């Protein structure tokens, strides 16, 4: 996504009173381009995207399929980009909920 797209999305979310990134949609990719993207189980990386990888990367749906096999584990998705950092935790109903936000690698 472009910086303009991210800015417009964030602005629209603020105007509507909720943030659109509180839940990670199933079609979202586990990739950030420059930075770090990973799926962890109990703190141990299970999947890490290559830097600059934007093709053939896992989606949240892929992560959910794996996590659903061991639902009692602590599953998390980490997306650390240049100016944005988001961390999601799997909830019991299979949703990935934002639990921490940061400034990224800037």
Assign 19 a pLDDT band (cuts: 50, 70, 90): low
* Region for residue 104 given its phi and psi (left: phi exceeds 0; alpha: psi -120 to 50; beta: otherwise): left
How many angstroms separate the CA atoms of 72 and 100, rounded? 21
Note whether 26 and 20 are within 8 A (CB).
Answer: no
Tell me the β-bridge partners of 23. Answer: 97
Note whether 87 and 99 are within 8 A (CB).
Answer: yes
Model pTM score: 0.79
Q: What is the dihedral of CA 95, 91, 39, 98, to 10 degrees?
A: 70
Q: What is the mean pLDDT of residues 15-39?
A: 84
Q: What is the pLDDT of residues 39-89, one digit of tens each?
A: 999 999 999 998 887 788 999 999 999 999 999 999 999 999 999 999 999
Exposed/middle/buried for residue 103 (C-beta within 10 Å: 0-12, 13-18, 19+): exposed
How many angstroms separate the CA atoms of 39 and 89, rounded? 10
């Amino acid at each position: 996504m472009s910086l303009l797209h991210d800015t417009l999305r964030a602005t629209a979310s603020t105007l509507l009173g909720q943030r659109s990134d509180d839940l990670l949609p199933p079609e979202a990719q586990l990739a950030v381009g420059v930075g770090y993207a990973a799926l962890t189980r109990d703190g141990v990386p299970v999947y890490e995207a290559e830097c600059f990888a934007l093709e053939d990367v896992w989606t949240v749906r892929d992560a959910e399929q794996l996590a659903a096999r061991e639902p009692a584990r602590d599953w998390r998705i980490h997306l650390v980009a240049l100016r944005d950092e988001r961390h999601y935790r799997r909830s019991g109903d299979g949703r990935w909920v934002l639990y921490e936000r940061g400034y990224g690698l800037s």
